[in-house]
Amino acid sequence: MSYWPETLERAYGACEALARSHDENVPVASRLLPAATRPHVAAVYAFARVADDIADEGAAKDTMTSRRASSARA
């Protein structure tokens, strides 16, 4: 049973997939949080990660395209 609309559920799923694919510490540490909080922490992590990639690479379009491709494979 989902607490969120389908599109929001997919968005949180993409954030969690991004966190799992880029860092081992975030998924492991998030297990210490209440289950209801984990998707929100993953969303904050995903935002910070993408923002950092944009700042480092300077190309938002390329970063988002590669993220979408990675999420599609997951």
Q: Which tens digit of pLDDT belongs to each residue from 22-60?
A: 777 877 888 899 989 999 999 999 999 899 888 888 765
Q: Does residue 49 lie within any of the structural domains?
A: yes
Q: Which domain holds residue 47?
A: 6-73
Q: What is the pLDDT of residue 72?
A: 64
| Residues 41 and 33: beta-carbon distance below 8 Å | yes
Q: Does residue 53 lie within any of the structural domains?
A: yes
**Rounded Cα–Cα distance for residues 35 and 40 (Å):** 10
Q: What is the pLDDT of residue 34?
A: 93
- 36-to-3, 4, 48, 49, 65 alpha-carbon distances in Å: 10, 12, 20, 21, 29
Q: Does residue 1 lie within any of the structural domains?
A: no
**Rounded Cα–Cα distance for residues 74 and 9 (Å):** 15
Question: How many domains does one find in the chain?
Answer: 1
